Amino acid sequence: MAHPQHAAARRGRSLASREALQGFVFVSPWILGFLLFTAGPMLFSLYASFTNYDITSQMAWIGFKNYDTMLNHDPLFWKSLRNTLYFVVISVPLQTAAGLLLAMILNRRMPGIRLFRTVFYLPSVLSGVGVYVLWMMLLSPSAGLVNLTLSWLGIDGPAWLTDPAWTKNAIILMKLWGSGSMMLLYLASLQGVPSKLYEAAELDGAGRLRKFWHVTLPMITPVIFFEIVTGFIGGFQIFQEGYVMSYGNDPGAPMNSLLFYNLHMFLKAFKVFDMGYAMAMAWFLFLIVLLLTLINLTLSRFWVHYEGGEQ
């Protein structure tokens, strides 16, 4: 016979372990999914990036050959990387600035303010092929609404999606139209700035510009930082625009000016089935994005202000 105290302790222990078991049961779908769809595939792709894998034939270890080809013998690799960088470097800051400007203006009492917010947010809800087709029409060189408007202003508009020098700008313009979601985030954070801070600044005789520079801006730096980091990560994944909005249904055309990094990778993987090479490309981009995010994080210490000190 067990001692009653021991029995109670055992019961407590077994209760706790039964609780723990249930906890595992609840999170097990995610654990399984993580192993099957994230961790497993990542490990496999890391390995396969050192092989000549093409789905049909036996895979063979070829060392760093894919990486060597990528960096030294594939001009389209560099082209696609440059295209992507061009898009990210111009689009992300532009969208950040536009979103902030709109939020600043909409963060005040004005008749119809709710309607304004809805109107500016609406385009960002729309995405996908429908929007691409719409902008292909708006940007069509001779009959498109954009160039028509420009011609009323006496400007001779470019051939947007058919002129390789302008294709990426066309997509940046389209993305700017949909930057309302950023505006919404800034609006929320602007409304979180305590009015006491403004009152104190006013007592010190600060004008509107100084209040913005010394109160508003520091208080919303965490959101700006969030937007820049996620904007960069998202921007590097641009793919569909180059696939759908290309000239003559030839992905990346004209003259590969819309061949973004992920599009090049996609074509390598699913058009010529050079899977090993494509996976090397994926890992290379993963490293770039990781590095950029780390740089962003490090730099953030100098300009991102968190309430309540260090974080």
Site for another protein in 243-282 (CB under 8 A): 243-244, 249, 262, 265, 269-270, 275, 278-279, 282
Which residue, 140, 165, 146, 131, is CA-closest to 241?
Answer: 131
Query: According to the binding rule CB under 8 A, does residue 127 interact with another protein?
Result: yes
Interacting positions 35-94 with another protein (CB under 8 A)? 36-38, 40-42, 44-45, 48, 55
Interacting positions 198-217 with another protein (CB under 8 A)? 198-199
Query: Roughly what angle, to the nearest 10 degrees, separates helices 75-106 and 167-177?
Result: 30
Of the pair 89, 297, the CB lying nearest another protein is at 297
Give phi and psi for 51, each to the nearest 5: -125, 175
Q: Which structure tokens are listed for 256?
A: 């590969």
**Residue 85: Cβ within 10 Å count:** 15
Q: Which of 76, 86, 201, 226 binds another protein (CB under 8 A)?
A: 226
Give CA–CA dist 89/228, Å, rounded.
11
Q: Which of 91, 189, 216, 256 binds another protein (CB under 8 A)?
A: 189
Q: Which of 112, 205, 308, 309 binds another protein (CB under 8 A)?
A: 112
Q: Which of 161, 236, 257, 258 binds another protein (CB under 8 A)?
A: 236
Of the pair 90, 244, the CB lying nearest another protein is at 244
Give CA–CA dist 175/145, Å, rounded.
17
Give CA–CA dist 216/184, Å, rounded.
16
Stretch touching another protein by CB under 8 A, among 69-77, 82-90, 159-167, 233-241: 233-241
Q: Which structure tokens are listed for 22?
A: 């249930």
Q: Which of 70, 81, 131, 228 binds another protein (CB under 8 A)?
A: 131
C-alpha distances out from residue 253 to 52, 100, 257, 259, Å? 28, 33, 6, 7
**Residues making up the chain, counted from first to last:** 311
Cα 74 to chain centroid, rounded: 26
Considering Cα of 259, then 262, then 264, then 266, what sign does the dihedral take?
negative
Q: Which of 3, 26, 154, 310 binds another protein (CB under 8 A)?
A: 26
Q: Which of 4, 111, 154, 308 binds another protein (CB under 8 A)?
A: 111
Give phi and psi for 61, each to the nearest 5: -70, 125
Of the pair 4, 156, the CB lying nearest another protein is at 156
Q: Which of 7, 8, 89, 105 binds another protein (CB under 8 A)?
A: 105
Give CA–CA dist 156/99, Å, rounded.
28
Shortest distance, position 141 Cβ to another protein, whole Å: 12
Here's the x/- map for another protein, 136-155, by CB under 8 A: it reads as -xx-x--x-x--x-------
Q: Which of 70, 100, 170, 285 binds another protein (CB under 8 A)?
A: 285
Shortest distance, position 255 Cβ to another protein, whole Å: 19
Query: According to the binding rule CB under 8 A, does residue 15 interact with another protein?
Result: no
Q: Which of 7, 89, 133, 155 binds another protein (CB under 8 A)?
A: 133
**Residue 42: Cβ within 10 Å count:** 14
Give CA–CA dist 306/72, Å, rounded.
44
